[in-house]
Amino acid sequence: MRSIYDVSAPAKLNLFLHITGRRSDGYHLLQSAFMLIDWFDTLHFDLRPDGGLSREDLSTPLPSDDLVLRAARALQAASQCPLGAHIGIEKRIPAQAGMGGGSSDAAATLLALNRLWKLDFSLERLIHIGLQLGADVPFFLGGRNAWVEGIGEKMTPIDLPPGQFLVLKPDEGLETRLIFSDPGLKRDSETAILSGFAANAFDFGRNDLQVVAQKLCPGVTQALLWFASQGLTGRMTGSGSAVFARVLHEVDLASVPRTCEVKLCNNLEAHPLLGWAKSKGVSVDSL
């Protein structure tokens, strides 16, 4: 039986990720390009009139208090809504991969419950809530591929040509905290400009976190070496252990290391839930 809402939550890839500095509060300043891909979690939402919030894991077991439930509680508190929800999750995007699976699920939860509870919160108001849940949540709420700056809060929508990407996720995951606390992390990349990226989007820059990640996770190096054996230039996405490359010719998928999950993906022009919350054209900072 179908739920009231059955929604898709896509993963993302960082086409590049440069660290350009560090603020006095310890947060790192970055530049990146976030691209949506067709690797999805699926979330099912049903109304609970008693105000309760419950979650059912339909595939991979999740932590007892994950970002989905935190997003639901945050929206419930912000709206003072007396309604609740039962949420079923088919988890397919791997964890600690740098693909934003948890943040994408949280964004989908905010958008779906905004409709289920008939709140009519604006996109800006949802983004304000999402910022408190994680740096990547506003990107998934925005619904477009984006040029990202600051600590992840400054986003400019971008258009990207269609492309096919092979993603390898080693068994090991990576903790963001360990990478960003490493003294060997490069933190002084030159500031790039959007026009320079646009001229060569799929081959631009690098991931400054990759060198540190390779020290912490041998699977990253193994995946990169496999891509090289296929004549492809692999790159780590985000701060996780997944590695990807754009595919322009046939590759030998049978030779992929057995320790890696592999998926051939296409990029998306827009998020499947784009338009589920209307923009009021106001600054998030003013909310």
pLDDT digit string (tens) for the chain, length 287 residues: 578 999 999 999 999 999 999 998 888 999 999 999 999 999 999 999 999 999 999 998 888 889 999 999 999 999 999 999 999 999 999 999 999 999 999 999 999 999 999 999 999 999 999 999 998 999 999 999 999 999 888 999 999 999 999 999 999 999 888 999 999 999 999 999 999 999 999 999 999 999 999 999 999 999 999 999 999 999 999 999 999 999 999 999 999 999 999 999 999 999 999 999 999 875 555 55
154 φ, ψ (degrees, to nearest 5): -100, 115
Domain match, 210 and 143 both: no
Structural domain count of the chain: 2
Q: Both tokens of residue 226?
A: 């496999």
Domain match, 92 and 209 both: no
Q: Look up the CATH number of the domain holding residue 14.
A: 3.30.230.10
Beta strand 84-90 with 53-57 is parallel
Is residue 108 domain-resident?
A: yes
Domain match, 143 and 257 both: no
State the pLDDT at residue 280.
Answer: 85
* Dihedral angle sign, alpha carbons of residues 59, 63, 66, 69: positive
Domain match, 69 and 106 both: yes
Domain match, 150 and 233 both: no
Domain match, 142 and 22 both: yes
Predicted TM-score of the model (pTM):
0.95
Is residue 232 domain-resident?
A: yes
Q: Look up the CATH number of the domain holding residue 227.
A: 3.30.70.890
Q: Concatenated DSSP letters for the chain?
A: ---SEEEEEEEEEEEEEEEEEE-TTSPEEEEEEEEEEEEEEEEEEEEETT--EEEEESSS---TT-HHHHHHHHHHHHHT---EEEEEEE--SPTTSSS-HHHHHHHHHHHHHHHHTT----HHHHHHHHHTT-TTHHHHHH-B-EEEETTTTEEEE------EEEEEEESS---HHHHHT-TT----PPPP-HHHHHTTGGG-S-BTTHHHHHHH-HHHHHHHHHHHHTT---EE-TTSS-EEEE--S---GGGS-TTEEEEEEEB-SB-TTTTSS------GGG-
Is residue 277 domain-resident?
A: no
Is residue 286 domain-resident?
A: no
Domain match, 148 and 173 both: no
Domain match, 152 and 13 both: yes
> Catalytic pick from 105, 136, 208, 263?
136
Domain match, 248 and 116 both: no
Domain match, 173 and 58 both: no
Does 136 participate in catalysis according to the annotation? yes
Q: Which residues span the domain enclosing 10?
A: 5-158
Does 208 participate in catalysis according to the annotation? no
Domain match, 177 and 216 both: yes
State the pLDDT at residue 283.
Answer: 59
Q: End of a domain among 158, 175, 209?
A: 158
Is residue 257 domain-resident?
A: yes
Is residue 285 domain-resident?
A: no
State the pLDDT at residue 58.
Answer: 95
Is residue 279 domain-resident?
A: no
Domain match, 244 and 119 both: no
Is residue 287 domain-resident?
A: no
Quick check: 95 and 133 in contact, CB under 8 A?
A: no
